[in-house]
A = this chain, B = another copy of it.
Amino acid sequence: MKEYTVQQLAKIAGVSVRTLHHYGHIGLLKPSSRNVARYRFYGESELLRLQQILFFKELDFGLDDIARILDGPGFDPVEALEAHREQLKKRAERLDALLKTIDKTIRKLKGEKIKMSDEELYGGLSKEQANAYAEEARRRWDPKLVDNANANVKKWSKEKWKAVNAELDEILRQLAALMGTPVEDRKVQALVTRHYAYLNNFYEVKPNMYRGLGKLYVEDPRFRAYFEKYRAGLADYLNEAIDRYCDNTPAGKKRRG
């Protein structure tokens, strides 16, 4: 039977020795045996448990939660592992897509240094898209405000557009990374809020208009249904947006070196 010292296990699992000590102290992962000199030794099952721990840690569970999960009465390792495997697979696929996108983006950024027509100004949000948003906003809230906003938008500088596009891109990318996460999740909430804060910024809407938005997305129960629907089509939407981003993204918005 294989046994690992602290350092060996640490290296295998990619954590620090201190982490293993810590896990031992809080009873999360104890060595399978100890030396006369109290040296720690871990077996295969500890390695597996550590993997599970790290897995849940990736999902942002606290260590005590992890302990409850792993040591809970109804914990069927096979079942749990199969569920996790599915999650992992999805994550891996998403990561893969993200990686490709980023590669594309980097190539684009490196290649097409300076080339930006007026049309490209609209970048992350196509004219039609912007109009679509405007349309919806018009339907939903105050038409005058929206028209006003659009008028403002047209006066925006290139710089502002760049910044705004970049932000939308960021938000979308992160939302994509969270695909499959429950809507109630704090991260999703935060991102959605940011997304709408972005829209708010985009349209330079007044607070009272924003109240409706905020409520819809953050407090209103309708938000749930809306986002469910939204999420279903999110992948396509994002791919389009990302492609647009790659094709339209002009050279660096700069600062520093």
Contact = CB atoms under 8 A, between A and B. Distances in A.
A11 B218 CA distance: 9
B256 A14 contact: no
A95 B98 contact: no
Interface in A94-144: 94-96, 98-99, 101-103, 105-106, 109-110, 113, 128-129, 131-132, 135
B78 A109 contact: yes
A254 interface: yes
Contacts of A58: 174, 187
Q: How many protomers of this protein does the assembly include?
A: 2
A257 B109 contact: no
B132 A33 contact: yes
A162 to B, nearest CB: 10
Q: How large is the interface on A (under 10, 10 to 19, 20 to 34, 35 or more residues)?
A: 35 or more
A51 interface: yes
Max chain B Cβ within 10 angstroms of own Cβ: one of A15, A51, A72, A197? A51
A151 interface: no
A48 interface: yes
Contacts of A95: 88, 91-92, 95
Contacts of A2: 207
Contacts of A13: 190, 193-194, 197
Nearest to A217: B36
A105 B15 CA distance: 20
A38 B159 CA distance: 33
A221 to B, nearest CB: 15
Nearest to A75: B256
Interface in A1-55: 1-3, 11-15, 27, 30, 32-34, 36, 38, 43-45, 47-48, 51-52, 54-55
A135 B1 contact: yes
Interface string A234-257: 000100100110010000111111
Contacts of A167: 51-52, 55
B255 A72 contact: yes
A228 interface: no
A158 interface: no
Contact of A30 (B3, B54, B240): B240
| List of 5 A-B pairs having minimum Cβ-Cβ separation, nearest first | A74-B255, A74-B256, A14-B190, A75-B256, A14-B193
